[in-house]
């Protein structure tokens, strides 16, 4: 059974649904959660932004990421689930790559992700970190839709 479950959180409704499902699963199996948030620092290229702007924007993004992790941690704590949390911050990071790498480094048994469930042109245009995690992960991935299909 699953003993170590990595949960990617980004503050979205889809991510929250994934976290809720991971908490339910952890309570059932006695698993430990690793709550992971990957900062989207691609926009923080110093060639694009001035130093003062870069510092202010970087701090705002970091603060937002920490709040997302704090909220996820509060939900896990309130549910009585054992957890760790990790903020991953790398310039040029792609969330899906960092999630897969962190799952390997932590020896996770399962990755849980919320997904918007986009299809067709929306998925093609917007891309999908969840889909890339699913395609590249050597361990099982549970994808939880933001809203169940009617």
Chain mean pLDDT for the chain: 86
Looking at residue 146, what is its pLDDT?
Answer: 82
Regions of the chain with pLDDT less than 70: 40-50, 117-127, 148-150
* CATH architecture under which domain 4-113+126-145 falls: 3-Layer(aba) Sandwich (3.40)
| CA dist 96 → 9, 49, 76 (Å) | 12, 25, 23
Task: Give per-residue pLDDT as tens, 27-39.
Answer: 999 999 999 999 8
Tokens linked to 89: 């911050």
Looking at residue 118, what is its pLDDT?
Answer: 55
Provide the residue ranges of all domains of the chain, joining segments of one domain with +: 4-113+126-145
């Amino acid at each position: 059974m699953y003993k170590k479950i990595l949960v990617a959180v980004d503050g979205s409704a889809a991510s929250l649904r994934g976290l809720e499902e991971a908490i339910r699963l952890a309570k059932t199996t006695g698993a430990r959660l690793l709550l992971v948030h990957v900062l989207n620092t691609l926009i923080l290229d110093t060639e694009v932004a001035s130093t003062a702007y870069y510092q202010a924007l970087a701090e705002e993004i970091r603060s937002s990421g920490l709040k997302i992790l704090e909220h996820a941690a509060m939900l896990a704590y309130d549910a009585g689930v054992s957890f760790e949390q990790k903020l991953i911050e790398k310039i040029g990071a792609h969330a899906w790559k960092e999630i897969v790498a962190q799952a390997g480094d932590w020896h996770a048994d399962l990755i849980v992700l919320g997904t918007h469930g986009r299809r067709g042109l929306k998925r093609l245009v917007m891309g999908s970190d969840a889909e890339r995690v699913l395609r590249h992960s050597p361990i099982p991935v549970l994808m939880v839709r933001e809203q169940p299909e009617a």
